[in-house]
């Protein structure tokens, strides 16, 4: 029989049981807490994951929008490049341009009609976007200036200049009165980068033989109208605010077919669409018709006394390019069958004196002594053009120096303001659209593009330094009025030195090839560099080999003429000559006036020639 435990033994047993019980429960709260923490942590992780996925989507949407803006920025940069005369290529797939947090590159392609197609790809974070735009280089027509002289304009006694609009009808329908001396009474526009001299006619103003300009005279920024007694101007004589750049002419490259000499009594008609001759001569008693559409390039154009040259624009435009000389002898006749001045243009690029008659004496390369009528634009950028009194001109005239000889009659055509050769203006946006992304690793991998490039060791270029053409050849007047020039990397050139830019050319490397520029209009074809002299680069392929201008032999910087004193008024009485010098146009040194971008039309610090009379 067992014995019952004693009191002491019971207490001990109780203590042992308690310890066991306590030992058995030990850690259970910790376990429970741990489980709760794990559950809550798990919930938290799940929520964080879900939240981050939502955030990722939002970030992607933001990156996509940013990529769109970066692509747009690329288009803007390319637009600026094209307006400066570059190709429009900015950055490349291999080395994109950097803009803000993103990257982009722009590829430019020249279209058939001179437009430029831009394709811009923008990348930012995980966002990718591609847009395209087609822009059109545009020009401000030179003929909008009416009668224009780059250096000086001389209007002799008895000259009458008015204006009309061939789109509104013929001159006769707009003239006040009838007869040879009828005028429209308004609409003349005469501009010059230098002085405009109206010689005294010695006749009361308003008379039939008085010198009269029925419209505006606009001398250069630091120049003036010098008006003799008896001359009248009905419009403004305020100087222009900026110098007008005169673009060179791009002569079509055609194979020469030798010489064309027409001596027969029966009229000859030239109907070829494009033709080049070394020399075209029409002998006395013969007539040659230039029938449009026609582009005629001729080295020497000669009209003997008694010969006739007929410009027939009734079937199409006629453009004539004279590269060496233009000699329309006294007694020859220049006529037109077709009264649309917008369809005919005469470009004379000759500048050096020539011995046209073989007598050993050099004559001026441009001698127009013909009579008759000419409806069109005459453009002589490199030398003096004199309009004789016997030649009735309807249209526009632009030359380095213009002399309107005594009794000349010119009617400026307003319609040419829209349809003739011109200086470059800002390009116009023709088309904008969203395009498919290019298939490149940088685009396909939706990772941060900057990080991707960093792994490859590629450093993106800053946006403003990413243009393909980064070599510049520039002639300019600096801020002190001194003529200077620079040829080399654009990054090394300090643009703040430029007071007035005269010519600017761009190239992808240091080798500048010559690429003349042309105006727009019915006769001028866009050169590789585009219209209006605005472009000098070939934008057709992104990796084109650069060089678009001949090594430009720049003259040593020389002192420019001092500007006129500000006390000079716009119009002053003109002292008569002590001796009347014959106005035989002098051969002038050829100037390489390249058109510069629209942002570079600035005031010239140099005025025109100081007239000899003022030396008294």
Q: Which residues bind other proteins (CB under 8 A)?
A: 29, 32, 36, 40, 43, 47, 50-51, 54, 57-58, 61, 64-65, 111-113, 115, 117, 132, 134, 429-434
Q: Indicate the residue among 54 and 455 with the shorter CB distance to other proteins.
A: 54
Rounded least distance, CB 530 to other proteins, Å? 14
Q: Tokens 């109907």: give the residue.
A: 271
Tokens, residue 451: 């990080």
Question: 118 and 135 in contact (C-beta within 8 Å)?
Answer: yes
Contacts of 123 (CB under 8 A, 6+ apart): 67, 70, 96, 102, 103, 104, 442, 443, 449
Measured CA distances, 261 to 139, 278, 286, 288, 293 (Å): 37, 11, 10, 10, 21
Long-range contacts at 387-393 (CB < 8 A, ≥ 24 apart): 389/158, 391/334
Which residue number, 111 or 458, has a Cβ lying nearer to other proteins? Answer: 111
Q: Which is nearer to other proteins, 40 or 238 (CB)?
A: 40
Least distance to other proteins, CB of residue 73, Å = 15
Nearer to other proteins, 57 or 559 (CB): 57
Nearest to 82 by CA among 431, 520, 420, 467: 467
- Cβ 51 to other proteins, closest distance in Å? 7
Q: Supply the minimum distance, in Å, between the C-beta of residue 121 and other proteins.
A: 16
**Run of H or E residues at 58:** helix 28-83
CB burial class (10 A; 0-12, 13-18, 19+) of residue 276?
buried
Q: Is 482 helix (H, G, I), strand (E, B) or coil?
A: coil
Burial class (CB within 10 angstroms; exposed 0-12, middle 13-18, buried 19+) of 184: buried
56 or 456: CB nearest other proteins: 56
Q: Which is nearer to other proteins, 433 or 581 (CB)?
A: 433
Least distance to other proteins from the beta carbon of 57, Å?
A: 6
- Write down the least CB distance from residue 431 to other proteins, Å: 5
Q: Which of 219, 526 has the CB closer to other proteins?
A: 526
Q: How far is the CB of 76 from other proteins (least distance, A)?
A: 13
Q: Shortest Cβ distance from residue 541 to other proteins (Å)? A: 19
Nearer to other proteins, 43 or 609 (CB): 43
Which of 113/359 has CB closer to other proteins?
Answer: 113
- Maximal C-alpha separation, the chain: 168
Distance, in Å, from the CA atom of 72 to the CA atom of 94, rounded to the nearest integer, reads: 20
SS3 377: strand
- Provide the token pair at 46: 């799940």
102, 110, 95: which is closest to 74 by C-alpha? 102
CA 593 – CA 410 distance, rounded (Å): 26
**Cα-flanking dihedrals φ and ψ of residue 83, to 5°?**
-65, -25
| Cα–Cα distance, 174 to 444 (Å, whole number) | 66
Closest CB to other proteins among 74 and 547?
A: 74
Shortest CA distance to 379 belongs to which of 154, 590, 146?
146
| Contact call for residues 524 and 250 (beta carbons, < 8 A) | yes
61 versus 263: smaller Cβ distance to other proteins: 61
Residue 134 or 304: which CB sits closer to other proteins? 134
For residue 238, give both structure tokens.
């305020």
User: Cβ 222 to other proteins, closest distance in Å?
Assistant: 41
Reference 377, options 533, 146, 162; nearest CA is 146
**Residue closer to other proteins, measured from CB, 35 or 492:** 35
Smallest distance from other proteins to CB 442, Å: 23
Neighbour count for residue 501 (Cβ, 10 Å): 19
CB of 63 to other proteins, least distance (A): 13
Query: What Cα–Cα distance (Å) separates residue 277 from each residue in 274, 320, 329, 343, 369?
Result: 10, 11, 19, 22, 22
- Three-state SS for 490? helix
Task: Tell me whether residue 50 or residue 362 sits nearer to other proteins (CB atom).
Answer: 50
- Minimum distance, C-beta of residue 246 to other proteins, in the bound complex (Å): 27
**Do the Cβ atoms of 189 and 218 come closer than 8 Å?**
yes
- Tell the smallest beta-carbon distance from residue 112 to other proteins (Å): 8
Shortest distance (Å) from residue 445 CB to other proteins: 23
Strands (E) in 365-406, as ranges, are 366-368, 371-387, 391-404
């Amino acid at each position: 029989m067992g014995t019952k435990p004693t009191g002491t033994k019971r207490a001990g047993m109780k203590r042992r049981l308690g310890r066991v019980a306590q030992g058995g429960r030990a850690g259970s709260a910790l376990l429970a807490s741990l489980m709760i923490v794990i559950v809550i942590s798990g919930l938290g992780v799940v929520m964080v994951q879900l939240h981050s996925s939502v955030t990722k989507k939002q970030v992607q949407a933001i990156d996509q929008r940013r990529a769109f803006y970066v692509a747009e920025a690329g288009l803007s940069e390319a637009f600026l490049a094209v307006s400066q005369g570059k190709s429009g290529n900015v950055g490349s797939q291999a080395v994109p341009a950097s803009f803000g947090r993103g990257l982009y590159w722009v590829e430019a392609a020249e279209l058939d009609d001179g437009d430029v197609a831009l394709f811009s790809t923008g990348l930012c974070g995980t966002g990718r976007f591609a847009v395209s735009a087609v822009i059109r280089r545009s020009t401000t027509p030179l003929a909008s200036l009416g009668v224009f002289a780059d250096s000086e304009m001389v209007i002799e006694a008895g000259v009458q200049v008015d204006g009309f609009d061939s789109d509104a009808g013929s001159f006769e329908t707009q003239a006040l009165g009838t007869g040879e001396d009828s005028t429209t009474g308004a609409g003349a526009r005469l501009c010059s980068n230098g002085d405009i001299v109206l010689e005294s006619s010695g006749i009361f103003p308003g008379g039939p033989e008085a010198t009269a300009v029925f419209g505006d005279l606009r001398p250069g920024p630091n120049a003036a109208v010098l008006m003799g007694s008896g001359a009248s101007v009905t419009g403004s004589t305020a100087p222009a605010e900026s110098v007008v750049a005169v673009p060179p002419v791009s002569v079509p490259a055609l194979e020469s077919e030798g010489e064309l000499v027409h001596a027969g009594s029966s009229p000859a008609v030239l109907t070829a669409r494009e033709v080049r001759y070394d020399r075209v001569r029409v002998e006395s008693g013969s007539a040659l018709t230039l029938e449009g559409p026609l582009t005629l390039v001729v080295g020497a154009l000669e009209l003997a006394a008694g010969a006739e040259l007929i410009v027939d624009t009734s079937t199409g435009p006629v453009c004539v390019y004279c590269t060496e000389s233009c000699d329309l002898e006294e007694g020859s006749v220049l006529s037109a069958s077709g009264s649309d001045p917008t369809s005919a243009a005469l470009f004379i690029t000759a500048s050096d004196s020539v011995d046209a008659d073989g007598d050993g004496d050099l004559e001026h390369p441009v001698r127009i002594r013909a009579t008759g009528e000419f409806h069109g634009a005459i453009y002589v950028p490199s030398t003096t053009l004199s309009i004789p009194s016997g030649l009735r001109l309807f249209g526009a005239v632009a030359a380095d120096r213009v002399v309107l000889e005594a009794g000349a009659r010119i009617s400026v055509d307003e319609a040419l303001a829209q349809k003739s050769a011109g200086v470059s203006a800002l390009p116009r946006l023709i088309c904008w659209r969203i395009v498919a992304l290019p298939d490149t690793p940088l685009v396909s991998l939706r990772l941060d593009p900057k990080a991707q490039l960093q792994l490859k060791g590629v450093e993106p270029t800053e946006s403003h330094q990413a243009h393909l053409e980064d070599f510049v050849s520039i002639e300019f007047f600096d801020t002190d009025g001194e003529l200077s020039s620079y040829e080399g990397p654009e990054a090394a050139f300090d643009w703040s030195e430029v007071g007035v830019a005269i010519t600017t050319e761009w190239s992808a490397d240091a080798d500048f090839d010559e690429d003349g520029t042309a105006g727009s209009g019915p006769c001028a074809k866009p050169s590789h560099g585009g219209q209006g002299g605005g472009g000098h680069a070939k934008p057709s392929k992104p990796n084109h080999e650069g060089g678009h201008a001949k090594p430009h032999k720049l003259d040593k910087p020389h002192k420019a003429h001092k500007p006129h004193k500000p006390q000079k008024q716009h119009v002053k009485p003109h002292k008569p000559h002590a001796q009347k010098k014959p106005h035989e146009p002098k051969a002038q040194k050829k100037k390489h006036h390249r058109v510069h971008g629209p942002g570079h039309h600035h005031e010239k610090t140099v005025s025109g020639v100081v007239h000899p009379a003022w030396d008294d």
